[in-house]
Every structure is written in C-alpha cells, then in structure tokens.
Amino acid sequence: MSTFSTATLTPSTTSVLGAGAVAEHYPSVARRLHDDVLTRAGDPGYQWWLTHVMSAAGCSNPVRLRLNATWHDGHGGAETERVTDDMPDGLVYVACKNRRASVCPSCAETYRQDTYHLVKAGLLGGKGVPESVTGHPCFFVTLTAPAFGPVHSRVVGANGKVKPCRVRRSGTVCEHGKQVICYQRHAEDDPQLGEAICLDCYDYDHQAVWNLHASELWRRTTMTLNRRLGKVAKERGAKIRLSYAKVAEYQRRGVVHYHALIRLDGFDPDDRDAVLAPDPSLTPELVASHIEQAARITSLTTAAHPHNPIGWAIKWGDQIDVRQVRLTPADCDDRGTLTTQAVAAYLAKYATKATEVTGVVSRRLTAADAAAYAQLDTHQTRQLLSCWRLGKRPLNCTTDDDITAWEDSPGSNLPGWGKLQKWAHMLGFGGHFSTKSRRYSTTLGALRAVRRAYQRGETPPDPDQSPADADPVAADPVVTLNWIFDGVGWLTIGDAALANTAAAKARERRQIAKEETEETLAS
C-alpha cells in the first residue's frame, strides 16, 4: 500500500481554506483527498482511529509499527500473538521526533519547547535546579567563523537605514577579473545574501574544514576558559565550575556559528552535584573578559591533507560577542540588557533549524548527487562539492589502517577526513545542534519522561529517587515485545489531512487554555 507524507500538507494547508488551494492547483489530488476523507470519516470506528493516532496526529511522517508479544511459561514454552491486530489499521503510529522544522513542524515544535524549558531552568531554576542560579554570573556568548571571502551582506546603520552591501574606493576588481563591489541595499529575503561575490576568490575548502572542526574548536575553547578561570579562582581560594548550553546555527554564507549560555557556579568536591553560588570576588566583568580572551587565543591546526599538506588553521572569527544576562521585566533590543526569557527563546528557536537558511536541503549526498551538482556552478553547489572532494579517499589509501585513519581518525579528537563526505549535506558540520554541560539543568530525556507519564495518567518519575534493586527471579522475562517496522507516513492523504487538522485544533485549544490561565493568575 502506498503511503503519504504531509511535508507539504501541514495543518494549515489541510484545513478548509487549504483544501480549496489544493483543489485549485492540484485537481486530481483534491479529488483523492475528498474521497479519502469521506471514506475515513464515514467509518464507524473513526473516533476510535482518531483517538488512537492522536499522539502522532501532528507529525508529517509518523513511523508505523506492528507489535508482537511472546508469552513465556517458564518451562521453555512460548506463545506469540500480534497485539496490534485489534487496533485501528492494525498499526501503532509513533511521531518521527525529527527536530528540523523543515522536515516536521509539529515534532520540531515539541523539541523547541523542550529546549526552551531546559535552557530556562538553567537560568531561573526549577526542574531540579535551585532558584539561586538567578544570582550567578551568566553570559550570552556568540562565536562566529572567520571570513573565507567577500559575500553579499545586509548591514543596518544606527539610523535604521540599510547600508550599501559592499563599497570600495579602490581595488574594485579581483584577480579573477570580477567586480567585488555591490551598491545594492539588500532586503532581508534577498536570495543573494550570503553568496560569494566572486566564487573563485571564496575559500570553500577552508570553510568545509572549519565546519568539520567547529565542535572540536568549541571543546578546546571551554578547556581554555576552565583553565584560565580555575587559575584565577585558585588564587582567591575558591572552587568554580562552568556550566553551559549552546546551539549551532548556520549563517547565510553556509558556515556554522555558536550561541551559548555560560553560567559560573561554585563547586563542592564533597557534593559534586550541588549547584552553589560562586565566590563574589569573581565579578561578571572579570568572567566576561576571560571568556572573550579564551575565544580569541584558542586555535588548532588540522591534520595534513593531500590538498593541504600543512593543514588548515581553525580559529574563531573577529566577531565575538559576550553579553551578561540579567533579570529585567521585559525583553529588550540587541543593544540593551538581555532577559532570561529572550535568551531561552532565542536558543530554542535555532535548535530546530539546519541548512535550510543556506538554500541546501539536508539530505545525504550520493555519488550521483555529486555528479549532478557538478553540472552547476553556484555558491551552494561549490560548498557541497568541496566537502565531497575533500572527503574522497585518496588512491594510495589501500590498507585497513590507512582507510580507518582517513575515515575515523582513531585515538584523536580531530575528526577523520572521510566524515566530510558523510556530512557533505550539512556542509561538513557533523556536530550536535543543541548541547549542554552535565549540570547546567535537566535533560531532554527527563522532560520527555514527565510528558509521557502525564499522557498515561501516571505519576511523573522522581529524578532524585534511585531505582530499587531488581529481584533476580522477578527480572526473568515473562513477556517479550517485538516491535516490527511497517513503514513511514500516513496510509492515505485523507488520513494525513484529518490527523493534522485534529492536532491543529488540539494545539489551539491548549494555547487558549494557557492564555486564559495566565490572565487569571495575573489578575
């Protein structure tokens, strides 16, 4: 049976108005949608089906599963039964849980909200974090990549007017004979933004390698910062610990940069899990200066590559921004004091994005894809092809040790060159988009466990309670569950429309209830 994805049939497009638009542009699809909706809605078990799929109703590409249960009698005998045969469609629908908004808006919104609460708990306390963290020095840090060549940009002046893109009084022609000036005042949605002014002047190889090593550069920066602040704290007879949460974001030019929240805590060797106030002699101004200096002095040199025997230098760009986060009554602009709510929302927003802003679709590349991209000559295709070319195994790499060293680089924190091909669709970046230190706040797993318990009507698990030792006799398996993958996507386009519309209405009701509750508490 064919399946359908709702990547283009979101709740808004499958409502009454959306169905009209579909009918106007795709008459055959509209007729099939109409027939599928009537068939499903006219089924006597429609309400049962809708209740059954509601946990994944908003998902664009739900995972369909079948469940077999095997009962063991304890004497070597077993009996297997397919549990899902009595369920609607004989399936269990599970949300895809993709964090990318371009792939699944519903699951990405859940991920964004979880990330928001995770970040906010580290700023204001709650969810296992003491409220005293509001008095700890905390900083919003932005670390960008260096320039790899001139690109089209949009800069707004102090008067609120957009400046010309690139104005030069001299040297208006590059060595390749191309004009490197641009007098346009680009709009925010101008497709030229981020593209190289001269494709031949732009160092695509260096950008690909920088994206590949960005996570390692961040790790070394945190190590440098810990050493510098640890030395200062030792001189004052204090013990400190840095906690952070960060997200990676793609710039329009195709290179990643980091937004991070860095919080300074006290440290007790006898109680490592305690989140304590730091020594007051470590002032915010002192900590901010060390954060900036650590970012400016940290660098590394990559391993040798056939295209660059001396390796590439990896360091942060000149645009390093360190701003203190304070508690203020309302959000503010970029020149004012940052609020905790604004920072948490900002980090959560970018945790659901990938390479879409660069114009590149996040899908694994194949040799056929690379050959097709080679027929084009754009800023985006050059980035992809550079990753593919640099990640290609050399001809003299024949032994198992050589291949392993090329692809995985064992025993080293530096990534192997073969990963450039693996992550070519991500422009070389293979790191996590949202990470945090261990004791910054709660975890995404803990938040999901609470939500799962709430949906089942159970008591949320206590993160401080250790599980009891299991009885070795009772631990013997009595029932074995075997989940069988059936496919991805809704069975029909009508199922997709009905499920997504029901999920959209449920979200609207929850939002209205939330707003009414907030108004009641405020009054």
Are the beta carbons of 21 and 13 closer than 8 angstroms? yes
- Pick the closest to residue 252 from 365, 339, 165 (CA basis): 165
Which residue carries 């980035």 as its tokens? 383
Pairing of strands 78-82, 63-72: antiparallel
pLDDT, residue 357, reads 60
Predicted confidence (pLDDT) at residue 16 exceeds the cutoff of 80: no
CA distance 10 to 13: 5
Residue at 76: amino acid letter:
G
Cα angle: 460, vertex 452, 481; to 5 degrees: 115
The pLDDT of 363-392, averaged and rounded, is 89
Read off the pLDDT band of 77 (50, 70, 90). low
Residue 415: DSSP 8-state: P
DSSP E strand boundaries for 95-188: 138-143
Three-class SS state of 246 = strand
Beta bridge partners of 129: 126
pLDDT, residue 315, reads 96
Least confident of 40-49, 157-166, 260-269, 320-329: 320-329
Burial letters 317-343, b for 16+ CB under 10 A, else e: eeebebbebeeeeeeeeeeeebbbbbb
Element (H, E) at 402: helix 400-407
Beta bridge partners of 265: 241
pLDDT, residue 216, reads 94
The pLDDT of 103-116, averaged and rounded, is 86
pLDDT, residue 354, reads 66
Residue 331 phi/psi, 5-degree rounding, is -65, 160
- Pick the closest to residue 245 from 337, 127, 123 (CA basis): 123
Which tokens is 33 given? 């949608």
Calculate the alpha carbon distances from 136 to 232, 324, 431 in Å: 17, 11, 29
Cα angle: 118, vertex 120, 123; to 5 degrees: 120
Q: What's the whole-number average pLDDT of the chain?
A: 82
Burial letters 451-464, b for 16+ CB under 10 A, else e: eeeeeeeeeeeeee
Burial letters 229-259, b for 16+ CB under 10 A, else e: bbebbeeeebbbbbbbbbbbbbbbbbbbbbb
> Is 512 exposed, middle or buried (CB count within 10 Å of its CB: 0-12, 13-18, 19+)?
exposed
CA distance 20 to 485: 35
pLDDT, residue 327, reads 65
The pLDDT of 377-383, averaged and rounded, is 91
The pLDDT of 184-211, averaged and rounded, is 92
Rounded percentage of the chain residues whose pLDDT exceeds 70 = 85
Q: In this predicted model, what pLDDT tens digit does every residue of 93-105 receive, in sequence order?
A: 999 888 887 788 8
pLDDT, residue 471, reads 43
Which tokens is 100 given? 């990318």
Least confident of 133-137, 261-265, 466-470, 510-514: 466-470
Residue at 164: amino acid letter:
P
Predicted confidence (pLDDT) at residue 167 exceeds the cutoff of 80: yes
Which residues, including other chains, have CB under 8 Å from residue 121's CB and lie 6 or more apart?
127, 128, 129, 441, 442
Predicted confidence (pLDDT) at residue 244 exceeds the cutoff of 80: yes
Which tokens is 40 given? 């499903």
Predicted confidence (pLDDT) at residue 462 exceeds the cutoff of 90: no
Are the beta carbons of 29 and 22 closer than 8 angstroms? yes
pLDDT, residue 356, reads 59
* HEC per residue, 163-192: CCCECCCCCCECCCCCECCECCCCCCCCCC
Calculate the alpha carbon distances from 515 to 138, 451, 521 in Å: 30, 20, 10
Q: In this predicted model, what pLDDT tens digit does every residue of 123-137 receive, in sequence order?
A: 888 888 898 888 899
pLDDT, residue 454, reads 78
Own/partner long-range contacts of 104-110 (Cβ < 8 Å, ≥24 apart):
104/7, 104/59, 104/60, 104/61, 105/10, 105/58, 105/60, 106/58, 106/59, 106/60, 106/500, 106/503, 107/58, 107/59, 107/60, 108/352, 109/352
Are the beta carbons of 295 and 221 closer than 8 angstroms? yes
The pLDDT of 329-358, averaged and rounded, is 65
CA distance 508 to 506: 5
If one compares 11 and 185, the residue with the highest pLDDT of the two is: 185
pLDDT, residue 521, reads 75
Element (H, E) at 83: none
